[in-house]
A = this chain, B = another copy of it.
Amino acid sequence: MKQIAESTVRRLSLYLRFLEDYRRQGLETISSGDLASLGGMTSAQVRKDLSFFGSFGTRGLGYSVNALAHRIREILGLEREWQVIIVGAGKIGAALAQYRAFGERGFRIVGIYDVDPARIGVSLDGTIVKDQRELDADLQSVKPDIVLIAVPAEAAQPLLERVTKAGIRGVLNFAPTPLHAPSGVTLRSVDMALELELLSYTLTSAMA
């Protein structure tokens, strides 16, 4: 299939949330216009996004909330459970370990690791922080799908290499440094300092 734009997939995730809201309210159908106004985009955008994957709607009526939600979950790979480990049990690692939204979406935290003896053994929402020396063995036995990198910037690239060598194919990085992943590995980064800089840019040029 033709390559789908990241922006499209990002919107798909949003549509799914809106669909779940609609379901919670007991509504059975939704139109592209409804989805659009919830997300601040146009209805043509919504229909075009969905059209890349097939035609799920009924002309004159809209989309079945349940059917569309199910189809989007399928597209995003959310029908299964993903096993996730976190490396770095510091401030952000601990927050992530206790973040409920992950579990609700099928991302199950199955381990968290640190080097600092003071952090090892601590319980975060039921998960005990393990020594990072156990990481390699656990990568072999548990075979997690995704690693969250929550270590200091200078430790991030070596860690990335370590986990990809062990067969990890999905990584979400929180260290504020661009990482280089081998091909076949999907790497995404969340960089909060950079987001603030973007805000700074917009505020600055809006003034001028």
B13 touches A102 (CB 8 A): no
Residues from chain B with Cβ under 8 Å of A142 in the complex: none
Q: How many residues of A contact B (CB 8 A)?
A: 58
Let me know if A44 is at the binding interface, CB within 8 A: no
A199 touches B172 (CB 8 A): yes
Residues from chain B with Cβ under 8 Å of A177 in the complex: 17
Let me know if A195 is at the binding interface, CB within 8 A: yes
CB contact under 8 A between A197 and B13, given known A95-B94, A192-B190, A203-B170: yes
C-alpha gap A91/B98 in the complex (Å): 8
Give, as a whole number of angstroms, the nearest-CB distance from A38 to chain B. Answer: 7
Residues from chain B with Cβ under 8 Å of A145 in the complex: 203
C-alpha gap A9/B197 in the complex (Å): 9
- Which A residues contact B (CB, under 8 angstroms)? 1, 4, 6, 9-10, 12-14, 17, 38-40, 75-78, 82, 84, 91-92, 94-96, 98-99, 101-102, 105, 107, 145-146, 169-172, 176-178, 180, 184, 186, 188, 190, 192-206
